[in-house]
């Protein structure tokens, strides 16, 4: 299984809209074949720090996700609302 973790730093004035757009993107993503998890969390000590945790069955599912119109749409609206983001990909070594 493939894990994708994204750490977003969002402009404070954009947090609410960013989270609304991300919720729609998450809903679309979990409907895709091979997407097992798409969770979103917000830091307790900094509401402008948003974390995404995605789990996919395999590289093919990750590739499929990357080709969807919904991710392109989300990236287009998220970029101007973001200060930065860091993406980490990993293989799941424990868990279900």
Predicted confidence pLDDT, tens digits, the chain (96 residues): 999 999 999 999 999 999 999 999 999 999 999 999 999 999 999 999 999 999 999 999 999 999 999 899 999 999 999 999 999 999 989 866
Q: Which helix (H) or strand (E) holds 38?
A: strand 35-42
Is 37 exposed, middle or buried (CB count within 10 Å of its CB: 0-12, 13-18, 19+)? middle
Spell out the CATH class of 2-91: alpha beta
Q: What is the model's pTM? A: 0.88
Calpha distance 66→14 (Å, rounded): 24
**Antiparallel, parallel or unpaired: β 2-10 and 82-91:** antiparallel
Residues 6+ apart with CB under 8 A from 94: none
């Amino acid at each position: 299984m493939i894990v994708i973790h994204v750490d977003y730093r969002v402009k404070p004035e954009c947090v609410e809209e960013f989270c609304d757009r991300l919720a729609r993107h998450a809903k679309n993503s979990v409907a895709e074949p091979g997407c097992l998890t798409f969770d979103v969390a917000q830091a307790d000590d900094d509401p402008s720090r948003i974390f995404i945790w995605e789990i996919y069955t395999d590289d093919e599912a990750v590739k499929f996700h990357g080709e969807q119109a919904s991710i392109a749409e989300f990236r287009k609206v998220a970029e101007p609302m973001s200060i930065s983001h860091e993406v980490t990909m990993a293989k799941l070594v424990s868990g279900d």
